[in-house]
Chains A and B, each alone.
Chain A
Amino acid sequence: SYELTQPLSVSVALGQTARITCGGHNIGNSNVHWYQQKPGQAPVLVISRDSNRPSGIPERFSGSNSGNTATLTITRAQAEDEADYYCHVWHGTTVFGGGTKLTVL
């Protein structure tokens, strides 16, 4: 079965750039979606189809996907960006990454 690998945790200083990776075999050939989940809340879509930001998502969220790695980038990270982030692809079945806890220092 297809697997997505995310780092368990990423830390970023307030106002700096955070990058969260999602690794998978030839993931660059798939559409990757990203969700943000804050404690006690449902996930929220922040990036669809590798790099598309839904309405209402701040411009500081961006995504890229190539080769075996997709990346969610948060520029000028804010305190409210502290959350768990999950990547997601469709590979004959929905596959989620294990999630990355982003800490804003």
Chain B
Amino acid sequence: QVQLQESGPGLVKPSETLSLTCTVSSASISSYYWSWIRQSPGKGLEWIGYIYYSGSTNYNPSLRSRATISVDTSKNQFSLKLSSVTAADTAMYYCASGGSGWYDNWGQGTLVTVSS
């Protein structure tokens, strides 16, 4: 069973960059697609984007200008950077396995609050 674990700061100031990392275990990151998905408090799911181990990416058009997803195969990790954050970016951030298909494994999620 693939396991994913998100890590990163739980508090980010407005206008700064949110940075999260997802560590993958029990599977090689060099074999699949990997995604970031977020959920604002009390709201539904919003896809941020995905990356293939080769580095190719695809983003939600609404976040494309601010989101960057990268992969570090040597550490079996992939990461998310979201720039110029506002309170609207406050959410639970999940990493998951999958790209344009289904998401069959999810991390437990990490809550990121944007506040000064």
Contacts and interface: CB of A to CB of B under 8 A. Distances in A.
Given A33-B102, A43-B103, A49-B102, A93 B44 contact: no
A1 B60 CA distance: 11
Contact of B109 (A35, A42, A48, A88): A42
Contact of B44 (A31, A42, A48, A98): A98
Interface string B86-116: 0000000010000011111011110000000
Interface residues of B, number: 20
B16 interface: no
Contacts, number: 54
B100 to A, nearest CB: 5
Interface residues of A, number: 22
Given A31-B102, A42-B94, A94-B35, 8 more contacts: A41-B108, A43-B45, A45-B104, A88-B102, A90-B100, A93-B60, A94-B50, A99-B44
Interface of A: 1, 31, 33, 35, 41-45, 48-49, 54, 86, 88, 90, 93-99
Interface of B: 35, 37, 44-47, 50, 58, 60-61, 94, 100-104, 106-109
